[in-house]
Amino acid sequence: MAKLIYSAITSLDGYVADADGKFDWSVPDAEVMAFLNEIERPLGTYLYGRRMYEVMSGWETAHLRENQLPASEDFTRLWQAASKVVYSRTLDEVTTSKTRLEREFDPGAVRAMKEESAADMSVGGSELAGVALKAGVVDEVHLYMSPILVGGGKPSLPDDIRLPLELLQERRFGNGVVYVRYRTGL
């Protein structure tokens, strides 16, 4: 059975975007991006909320950009090869390949996807991840904690859930980012 993994780049005080909606502080450097690619390589499907999908859809044409770093080129290939499911009540259509649109997040359908999938899956976007965490379908939480305090904004984790976690892995990077990987459902 495939695992569903919530992965996010977050500020040290727990936000994926600041109060102005900016996340320029979260752009990974080459070392972090290369590590992230190795973590993402086994993924076969990305589950996104509308806003995260709109951000990530830029990878659809990233291969057309000149002077990309090798780690960015690698991620572009990984992202383009994966299937995507976008959960949105407001989006009219999806514009990227290997992508389907679902109007509602159905935990039962996600469990069935996990049962049928040969490759692990990722849920992206803190709001959708919060729904998935509350529904009990997330198997692991991967956080890349950036060495910055932004003082408020969009939280990386929901504040109305209690969930014990088991630390599986941690790694420090030269730029001060700390990666932590936890298993849920103890």
* Mean pLDDT of each 10-residue bin along the chain, 186 residues long: 97 97 94 96 96 90 77 90 96 95 97 97 96 97 98 95 96 98 88
Q: What is the rounded distance in angstroms from the CA atom of residue 186 to the CA atom of residue 136?
A: 11
pLDDT at 186: 62
CATH number, span 4-183: 3.40.430.10
- What does DSSP say about strands 178-183 and 140-146: parallel, antiparallel, or unpaired? antiparallel
Q: Where are the domains of the chain?
A: 4-183
Whether pTM > 0.85 for this model: the answer is: yes
User: Tokens 């695992």 appear where?
Assistant: 3
Q: Cα(first)–Cα(last) distance of the chain, in Å?
A: 18
Please compute Rg for the chain using Cα positions.
16
Question: Across the strands, what pairs with 167?
Answer: 182
pLDDT at 67: 78
